[in-house]
Amino acid sequence: MNKRNFIRFGIIFLVPLSFIISQCFHETKPSATSFNDPRGPQFAGSATCVSCHKNVSDDYLHSAHFQTSRLASPASVLGSFAPGSNIVKYNDSISVIMEKRDGGLYQACYVNGNLTQLQPFNIVFGFKRAETFLYWKDSYVYQLPVTYYTQLHQWANSPGYSEKRPYYTRMISEMCFECHSSNMKQIPPTQEQIDHKTIGLDKNTMMLSIDCERCHGPAAQHVTFQMQNPKNKQAMYITKLGGLSRSQRMDLCGVCHSGINQVAWSTFDFKPGDTLTKYFDSRFLNQVPDVTRIDVHGNQVGLLKGSKCYMQGKIECGTCHGMHDNGVKTVKMYSQICQSCHTDANHNVCKMTAQIGQPITSNCLDCHMPVRSSNSIVIHGAATQNAFYQARMHRIAIYPEETQKVMAMMKKMD
């Protein structure tokens, strides 16, 4: 196995801005020659987008894509550090306490009251459903043992961690950053590092958040042209998603929403318009996902492609998900998207309409895209013991058992 394949396949992990990116949406007036992006001269950096796209940039600051990774701080870590709310007990003798000390945030492990591990919160991964945390040690990145689950408003074990004891040695690879950031490069490994499966990362190349150029492609040529030709309102030398085919747009989303894959090449190299088959095993991409399994790194794209609505050419990811907005939509708002197609005129109104009546217009999702629990991520130490991570099914279909639940709930409300 060559070095590249080892790096792609050899490091075990389950959770699946630069300092420049943390400032990247502050309005600036860059010159055409001022680009200084660690990805190379063809990239302009998101700061250059603001002067022409301020409203879009301001909205994007609140999106889950932008906040999928960020530097840890009291503002970005959502869990409570108040005494009594900042502890995960593994047993009578072992606990991890979230502490503020020495001007920073830490996860401290105590065994029989003695401090045995103390590591800082350096990086936050995730935002909407959970936040998990990483720390730097020399050139290596490790995951902290405790995650904050926003659904439960509770600290608990990080995904895949034992409920019996915490440990601080899960190394995080470049591959994890490929879906949680815009750039991270490995330090060329020595033979000893390869032998011991320890691959360092170059902090100077780190760009947290998913930035503009991950989805629109390198923008240096675009910015230079538009600055030199301010009267030309046609966007040149940049990828507009509307100019891509539906298949290309789905592949762009699928880079991170096709589940965890073993890939031969870094998806940091993926540019809008590329195909996933250059990066992922085509046998996996063509495999129909198991609809009984929902996990933190689920195959939402594969599930959606298995839906009749998709196969009829009526929807794609962007039908429901605005790429620049904060993603906060209610079930009723999503249901209105369903009903823009399912109408009397189209003769495809839900067959349960007569039985349920008007309330059906406010909730299509619980019957046709039900919330399911993860099969692999059990949350120990939470307020509700052995709670499960939950996510919404992205294969739009008829689920009779879910319809029965909705009907039973409606009867109770009568």
- The residues spanned by each domain of the chain are 3-70+126-238, 267-413
Under a CB-based contact definition with an 8 Å cutoff, are residues 334 and 367 in contact? Answer: no
What is the C-alpha separation between 69 and 19, in angstroms, rounded? Answer: 12
pLDDT at 24: 47
- Listed residue (374, 361, 375, 364) closest to 399, CA to CA: 364
- Strand 130-137 and strand 146-149: the pairing is antiparallel
| Whether pLDDT at 28 is above 60 | no
| Whether pLDDT at 238 is above 90 | yes
pTM of the entire predicted model:
0.86
pLDDT at 9: 37
326-363 pLDDT per residue, tens: 767 888 999 999 989 998 898 888 888 887 777 788 88
pLDDT at 197: 78
What is the C-alpha separation between 69 and 391, in angstroms, rounded? Answer: 20
302-323 pLDDT per residue, tens: 899 999 999 999 899 999 998 8
- List alpha helices for 340-399, DSSP H: 353-356, 365-368
Segment 253-279 shows an average pLDDT of 86
Under a CB-based contact definition with an 8 Å cutoff, are residues 177 and 184 in contact? Answer: yes
Q: Average pLDDT of the chain?
A: 84
What is the C-alpha separation between 257 and 301, in angstroms, rounded? Answer: 6
| Whether pLDDT at 14 is above 60 | no
Return the residue matching tokens 């196969």.
Answer: 311
| Whether pLDDT at 164 is above 60 | yes
The pLDDT confidence band at residue 262, using thresholds 50, 70 and 90, is low
177-228 pLDDT per residue, tens: 999 999 999 998 888 877 777 889 999 999 999 999 999 999 999 999 999 9
Q: Look up residue 139 and give its DSSP letter.
A: T
74-115 pLDDT per residue, tens: 999 999 999 999 999 988 999 999 999 988 999 999 999 999
Calculate the alpha carbon distances from 196 to 125, 167, 189, 193 in Å.
26, 19, 11, 5
pLDDT at 13: 35
